């Protein structure tokens, strides 16, 4: 096609994985074009992982201070959300300015094009820039798609005409609202619910189903619900929001489902309304059909071990379906960069992707870490399993820790192979304790070997051998 610029690689979407691929390939001397319509770095550093964890860290400090009377004396505390809001604005996001990230890429020799890219052929990308310009690039070696996701916004009458929050608006808040209604019970919902509660916000969670964190072990959601009740978070289960209105700086939600007194309809009012009902892959602008790809994003994509949709067309990140996590996107980016360099520079290939041991952590208090299969998932795949469970609070370190020590470790063993296929670690530093279990699942270390290890005393990970001893 005339008018197309020939380059080595085009990376469409400069979130964590895309930025990683583009930067490595540019550093290796390839001509690389990175295309981004938003902020270089993507959701994680500006609206997700980093700012939300700053909020959570601040809230956890408040919670620890409130535990002083039980453990160490008296304390006077005046939580101030503006402190963490300033930190998010200045330290985490540069006031939502990606100049540093963009320069990090261009300093490596890459070319950054700001705009919305779409496929116009198997290895051809056309970009419509924000100022109305248009560029077309033909890639000699590869096109890497890293489209990311956007917050899912359900079709609720009246919602789109209101100033509701997604995670993006929530992390930009400069003060904690007096009251907050949250639709959803997944990781984003529970993390922000607890963080705002600890700064004095009255939080009500509205669940379509009956449980928090439905993708985790049920014990995790049950424990978190008990903790939330103790902190004053109200959870409304099995509800549907049927209408949303906003006036006089207040949201009014009309709901169907069980309510007090047996009524079928209930109302809820709150100063702010957070919609946290999952993420939707941003596939529509990509024009996949132009590359011969028939996929609407509703099912798992057909990709090979190097994450190729077709030869030289790669898909990484949330949309690839192996886990919507920054660490997964960067892991996939590493595989793709290695595959491209192996073809171009005869460097050693980095193998194929493995997704049997993808770890994830929900950064509530207690932290909830998980890797591999849940008990139900293992049973659904037809495995013969043994399950081990131990209470962290009752273990030595939990007893020493005192206030805030809720948690457990649950492990799933495949009896045929004698290795762990899944594990959950809940408790103080639950995500850190998970690392040992993630290694065991990833490397398929025999349970017999895990039982012979020496575990430092008295640590939280000392609960691992106790869970191993309970396998049955």
Q: Which residues are annotated as a binding site for FAD?
A: 53, 117, 318
- Single out the residue of 150, 141, 147, 148 nearest to residue 336, CA to CA: 141
Provide the CB-side half-sphere exposure for 182 (13 A, CA).
29
The CB density around residue 203, as the number of other CB atoms within 10 Å, is 26
Cα-flanking dihedrals φ and ψ of residue 409, to 5°?
-120, 130
Q: Is the peptide bond before 178 cis (omega within 30 degrees of 0)?
A: no
Nearest to 320 by CA among 339, 334, 338, 304: 304
Contact 35, 143 (CB under 8 A): no
> Any long-range contacts for 94-97 (C-beta under 8 Å, 24+ apart)?
96/39, 96/46, 96/172
Which residues are known binding-site members?
53, 117, 184-191, 278, 318
Let me know: does 43 contact 126? Beta carbons within 8 Å.
no
What letter does residue 261 receive in the DSSP assignment? G
C-alpha 154: how far from chain center:
19
The Cα-based distances of 136 to 7, 158, 259, 308, 315 in angstroms read: 10, 40, 57, 22, 20
Tokens 């992707």, residue? Answer: 353
- What b-and-e string marks burial along 167-196, b requiring 16 or more CB atoms within 10 Å of the CB? beebbbbeebbebbbbbbbbbbbbbbbbbb
Q: Over 167-211, what HEC string results?
A: HHHHCCCCCCCCEEEEECCCHHHHHHHHHHHCCCCEEEEECCCCC
Q: Tell me the binding residues for NAD(+).
A: 184-191, 278
Rounded distance between C-alpha atoms, residue 444 and residue 428, angstroms: 26
């Amino acid at each position: 096609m005339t008018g197309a610029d020939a380059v080595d690689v085009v990376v469409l979407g400069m979130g964590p994985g895309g930025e990683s691929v583009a930067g490595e390939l540019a550093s290796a001397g390839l001509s690389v074009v990175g295309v981004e319509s938003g902020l270089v770095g993507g959701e994680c550093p500006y609206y997700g992982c980093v700012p939300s964890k700053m909020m959570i860290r601040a809230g956890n400090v408040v919670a620890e201070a409130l535990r002083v009377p039980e453990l160490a004396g008296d304390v006077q505390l005046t939580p101030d959300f503006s402190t963490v809001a300033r930190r998010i604005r200045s330290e985490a996001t540069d006031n939502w300015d990606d100049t540093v990230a963009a320069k990090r890429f261009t300093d490596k020799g890459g070319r950054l094009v700001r705009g919305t890219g779409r496929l116009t052929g198997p290895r051809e990308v056309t970009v419509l820039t924000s100022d109305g310009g248009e560029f077309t690039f033909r890639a000699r070696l590869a096109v890497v798609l890293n489209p990311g996701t956007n917050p899912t916004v359900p079709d609720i009458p009246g919602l789109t005409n209101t100033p509701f929050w997604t995670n993006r608006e929530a992390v930009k808040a400069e003060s904690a609202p007096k009251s907050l209604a949250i639709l959803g019970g997944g990781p984003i919902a529970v993390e922000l619910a607890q963080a705002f509660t600890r700064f004095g916000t009255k939080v009500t969670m509205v669940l379509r189903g009956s449980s928090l964190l439905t993708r985790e072990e049920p014990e995790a959601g049950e424990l978190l619900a008990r903790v939330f009740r103790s902190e004053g978070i109200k959870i409304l289960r099995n509800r549907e929001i049927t209408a949303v209105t906003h006036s006089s700086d207040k949201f009014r939600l009309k709901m169907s489902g069980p309510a007090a007194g047996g009524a079928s309809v209930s109302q809820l009012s709150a100063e702010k309304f957070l919609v946290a009902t999952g993420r939707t892959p941003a596939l529509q602008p990509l024009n996949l059909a132009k590359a011969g790809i028939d996929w609407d994003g509703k099912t798992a994509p057909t990709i090979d071990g190097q994450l190729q949709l077709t030869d030289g067309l790669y898909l990484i990140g949330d949309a690839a379906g192996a886990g919507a996590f920054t660490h997964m996107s960067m892991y996939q980016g590493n595989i793709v960069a290695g595959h491209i360099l192996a073809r171009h520079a005869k460097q050693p290939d980095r193998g194929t992707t493995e997704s049997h041991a993808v770890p994830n952590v929900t950064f509530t208090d207690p932290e909830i870490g998980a890797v591999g299969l849940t008990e139900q998932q293992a049973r659904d795949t037809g495995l013969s399993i043994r399950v081990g469970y131990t209470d962290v609070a009752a273990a030595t370190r939990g007893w020493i820790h005192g206030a805030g020590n809720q948690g457990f470790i649950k492990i799933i063993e495949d009896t045929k192979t004698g290795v762990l296929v899944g594990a959950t670690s809940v408790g103080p530093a639950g995500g850190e304790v998970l690392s040992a279990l993630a290694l065991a699942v990833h490397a398929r270390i025999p349970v017999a070997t895990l039982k012979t290890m020496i575990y430092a005393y008295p640590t939280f990970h000392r609960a691992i051998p106790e869970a191993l001893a309970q396998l049955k």
